Amino acid sequence: MFQIRVHGRGGQGVVTAAEMLSIAAFLEKKHAQAFPSFGSERMGAPVMAFCRISNKEIRLREPVLEPNALIIQDRTVIESSNAFQGVVENGFVLVNSSVEISNPVKNVNIKCIDATGIALEHVGRPIPNAVLLGSFAALTKIIKIDSVIEAIKTKFSGSIAEKNIKAAQIAYEETLKGI
């Protein structure tokens, strides 16, 4: 089972990111479960969402405590949310940041990408979730970029979908180059 935890702030599409991940995995005939951190959080407050991907039925309903991958949509929540907690050895950490961040845990594959910048340029809105999923596909290879694209189409429509798909593809290519 591969477990993902997404950190960010209310309004950044954190929950949608986890949901799209689960849809992408579902499209690859895997079992997937996505759920939010169940709060009454308002815009701007730190939020979390979780996703599990497995070849078997997923029965576990606890929060993701030992993520194989972290997606951090806003680096300003890292400290307050203790975002790196529990991440497994050789796990993946994907951070939305235009600057490199110091790596607080050993033995993880960390990757920074300016997802907000890419989103602003290609979508026109500072919502980094789809961009990060493109990068996530390249970094972890757990899901294919084509599945991410299909998942984006279930959450966005029309030109917003197209723009998000383009932005995700750009992030995917950029991340592949960096590995």
Partner 1 sequence: MLYQLEGSQAIAKAVALCRPKVICAYPITPQTHILEGVGELVRNRELSDCEFINVESEMAALSVAIGAQATGVRSYTATSSQGLLYMIEAVYNASGLELPIVMTLGNRAIGSPINIWNDHSDAMSVRDAGWIMLFAETNQEALDLHIQAFKIAEKVKCPVMVCVDGFILTHAYDRVDIPPQGEVDEFLPSYVPHVSLDVDNPIAIGAMVSPEYFMEVRYLAHRRQTDSLEIIQCVGEMFQQKFGRDSGGLVRRYCVDGAETIIVTLGSVAGTIKDAVDELNLDGQSFGVISIVSYRPFPAEIIMNSLKNARKVIVVEKALAPGVGGILSQEIELALKNTKVEIVSVIAGLGGRSITKLMLKECFLMKDHARTTFLGLKEDIIAREYTPMKCCGCEGST
Q: Per CB under 8 A, which region of 28-36, 82-90, 131-139, 157-165 contacts partner 1?
A: 28-36
- Report 109-128 residues binding partner 1 (CB under 8 A): none
**What φ, ψ does residue 27 adopt, rounded to 5°?**
-65, -20
Distances (CA, A) of 113 to 97, 132, 157, 159: 5, 8, 25, 24
Q: Of these, 10, 11, 36, 86, which contacts partner 1 (CB under 8 A)? A: 36
Site track 58-77 with partner 1 (rule: CB under 8 A), x = hit: xxxxxx-x------------
The helix or strand, by DSSP H or E, that contains position 5, with its residue range, turns out to be: strand 2-9
Q: Could you say whether residue 157 binds partner 1 (CB under 8 A)?
A: no
Where does residue 41 rank: exposed (0-12), middle (13-18), buried (19+ CB within 10 A)? Answer: middle
Q: Per CB under 8 A, which region of 52-60, 97-105, 136-144, 166-174 contacts partner 1?
A: 52-60
φ/ψ region of 90 (left if φ > 0, alpha if ψ in -120 to 50, else beta) reads left
Residue numbers at the binding site for partner 1 (CB under 8 A): 18-19, 22-23, 26-27, 31-36, 38, 40, 58-63, 65
